[in-house]
Amino acid sequence: MRAGLYGGRGFFGRGERAGAHFRTSVHVGAVFAAGVARLLEEVDVRLGRPEALDFVDMGAGGGELGTAVVAALPPEVAARVRVHAVDVAPRPEGLDDRVTWSAEPPRGARGLLFANEWLDNVPLDVAAPDPHGTPRYVEVDPETGEERLGEPLEPDDSAWLARWWPHPDDGEPGSPNGVPDRVPESPGELLVPPADGPFAWRAEIGRSRDAAWARAVDGMAAGLAVAADYGHTRTGRPRWGTLTGYRKGRQVAPIPDGSRDVTAHVAMDAVAGIRGGTLTTQREALRALGVSGTRPPLALAGQDPAGYVRALAAAGEAAELTARGGLGDFLWLTTAIDPQSAAPAPPTTE
């Protein structure tokens, strides 16, 4: 998965941008950035309106979120903001010179770190049981997507699985009686269970995501860190996992050949267990920030036709961002960074 995404010929490694292949909250419109900007303003107040306020955009893609957040801020706040875009892909041409670009997050930032659909692209290992019920790593041919069982899990991965993703035959989570939560949709997507084996299942080992989040949070000196992603918690782990691929707007088999995005939902409660924080849905988080899908009053159409059209468009964007069964079901993990326990080093990307 790592080579298929971030290697020299990998999907992101060669410079593919998310917007060309799938739609995220960032690409819905300006309403999402406006909500994030309000959150940055709240952080600014909590920090006592510092001379320099940092906004760290993890998995920045084309740099759209950082530039849109600054545009949505009051001028006095925008003048103090330093935008740090973090992505392994090359810096996009034409990006505002005020935006710094690096492959690693800055150290010592004070402000808001926002990771929108970043963790789901942090590579991970997949496990499945052999005919004797022993969890093993799933190995995949990067050209064909053909899968086979490899070595038994290392102790640390076994411990993570036992704590955060118990075997379905233990009675939780997933579907009872060995019935999968969903049916395979494409060749190579799911490992075929052995006909005479025990309960068949797949688990996505999230230790790499936990560690990535810990590094990002630990690099902050003060402020707030938010991870927004599609995810699940211990009571609702999907029996067959979530590994899938996206290419040019379509869901495809997760073959790590570099031609597609390969992604898996995030075990958000496990990530939260690393540095603490609160979990809420995107719907609840954005509504708390003033994002509403309420249509403007029809009377506005007669008083200010252009204003009515703008308000109607904004309401449509808000409705998509908070929709049940869609982006509104994304989970937000919010972790506060205590300035008393963090080193007050100046931001650096070195």
Please state, in angstroms and as integers, the Cα–Cα distance from residue 231 to each residue in 261, 296, 328, following that order: 17, 32, 12
Distance of alpha carbon 55 from alpha carbon 155, whole angstroms = 37
Reported as a pLDDT band with limits 50, 70 and 90, residue 340 is: low
Check if the beta carbon of residue 282 is closer than 8 Å to that of residue 222. Answer: no
Q: What is the pLDDT of residues 40-56, one digit of tens each?
A: 999 999 999 999 999 99
Could you state, in order of their start, the residue ranges of all structural domains in the chain? 2-122+208-230+265-339, 125-204
Cβ-based neighbours of 9, under 8 Å, separated by 6 or more: 258
Q: What is the pLDDT of residues 68-126, one digit of tens each?
A: 999 999 999 999 999 999 998 889 889 998 899 999 999 999 999 999 999 999 999 99
Q: What is the pLDDT of residues 289-336, one digit of tens each?
A: 999 877 767 777 777 678 767 766 778 888 899 999 999 999 999 999
What is the CATH architecture assignment of 2-122+208-230+265-339? 3-Layer(aba) Sandwich (3.40)
Q: Which residue has the tokens 């406006």?
A: 34
Q: What is the pLDDT of residues 224-249, one digit of tens each?
A: 999 999 999 999 999 989 999 988 87
The whole-chain average pLDDT of the chain stands at 83
Distance of alpha carbon 218 from alpha carbon 304, whole angstroms = 49
Please state, in angstroms and as integers, the Cα–Cα distance from residue 257 to each residue in 9, 119, 145, 189, 254, following that order: 8, 20, 8, 14, 9
